[in-house]
Structure 1
Amino acid sequence: MIFSFLTENPKRYRLPKVSTIDDVIDLIKNSKKIIVLTGAGVSVSCGIPDFRSKDGLYARLAVDYPDLFDPQAMFSIDYFRKNPRPFFKFAKEMYPGQFKPSPSHRFIKMIEKRKKLLRNYTQNIDTLEKVAGIENVIECHGSFATASCTTCGHRVSCDDIKPAILEQRIPYCEKCAASHVGPWPADVTECDKGVMKPDIVFFGEGLPDAFHKAMEKDSDECDLLIVMGSSLKVKPVALIPSSIPAKVPQVLINRERLPHMNFDVELLGDSDSIVDQLCRIDSEEEEEDEENEENTVVENTAPVKCQKIGKRHVPGDESTRHVSLDSSRDSGIGESSNSSNEGSSPRPSGPIVNGTYFHHR
Structure 2
Amino acid sequence: MKIIDKVEKVVELIHQSRSIVIFTGAGISTASGIPDFRSNNGLWSNYDPLKISHVKRVYEDPASLFSFYADRYHEFSTHHPNEAHKILAKWQQVSLIHKIVTQNIDNYHQQAGAQDAIELHGNMQVRCQHCNRLLPASRFSKEYGRCEQPSLEIDEICNGILRPNVVLFGEELPEQTFNQALQAHIEADLCIIIGSSCSVYPANSLPKQTVLRNNGKIVIINKGTTDLDYLASVKISEWEAVHTLQEIDQRLKENV
Q: What TM-score does the superposition give when structure 1 sets the normalisation length?
A: 0.61
Query: By how many angstroms is 1:277 displaced?
Result: 2.0
- Provide the residue aligned with 1:100 in structure 2: 80
TM-score by length of 2: 0.84
2:22 & 2:194 partners in 1: Cα distance? 7
Spell out the pairing of 1:141-290 with structure 2 (5 A cutoff): 141-144=121-124, 146-159=125-138, 161-162=139-140, 165=141, 168-175=142-149, 179=156, 194-246=160-212, 247-262=215-230, 263-268=232-237, 269-283=239-253, 285-286=254-255
Give, as a single letter, the amino acid of the residue that structure 1 aligns with 2:143. Answer: R
Distance 1:173 1:245 in 2: 44
After superposition, what is the alpha-carbon deviation per residue over 1:27-81, rounded to whole angstroms, capped at 9, x for unaligned?
22332311100000011111212222333322333xxxxxxxx333322111332
Residue identity over aligned pairs, in percent, reads: 27
Residues 273-293 of structure 1 deviation map (CA, whole Å, 9 limit, x = unaligned): 11122223444x44xxxxxxx
Please give the root-mean-square deviation of Cα atoms over the aligned residues, in Å.
2.5
Instruction: Give the whole-Å Cα distance in 1 for the aligned partners of 2:208 and 2:98.
Output: 17
Q: 2:65 — aligned with what?
A: 87
Q: 1:265-344 maps to which residues of 2 (within 5 A)?
A: 265-268=234-237, 269-283=239-253, 285-286=254-255
Query: Where does the alignment leave 5 or more consecutive residues of structure 2 unmatched?
Result: none
Q: Is the 8 A contact 1:42 1:229 kept in 2?
A: yes
Count of residue correspondences: 242
Contact kept in structure 2, 1:74 and 1:80, CA below 8 Å: no
Higher helix share: 2
Q: Deviation at 1:169?
A: 1.2
Q: Name the larger-Rg structure.
A: 1
Q: Which structure 1 segments of 5+ residues have no match? A: 1-18, 62-69, 181-191, 287-307, 309-361
Give the Cα separation in 2 of the matches to 1:228 and 1:253.
Answer: 5
Q: Report the Cα distance in structure 2 between the residues aligned to 1:53 and 1:134, rounded to whole angstroms.
A: 27
Equivalents in 2 of 1:77, 1:131: separation in Å?
Answer: 28
The one-letter code of the counterpart of 1:25 is V
**Residue among 7, 22, 31 paired with 1:36:** 22
Pair 1:120–1:151, CA change in 2 (3 A):
same
Cα distance, 1:216 vs structure 2: 4.4
Distance, in Å, in 2 between the alignment partners of 1:92 and 1:53 is 22
1:116 equivalent in alignment to 2:66: no
Q: Is the 8 A contact 1:147 1:199 kept in 2?
A: yes
Q: CA deviation at 1:82?
A: 0.7
Aligned to 1:139: 119
2:13 aligned residue = 27
Structure 1 segments (4+ residues) deviating >4 Å: none
Shift of 1:260: 4.9
- Indicate the SS of the match to 1:169: coil
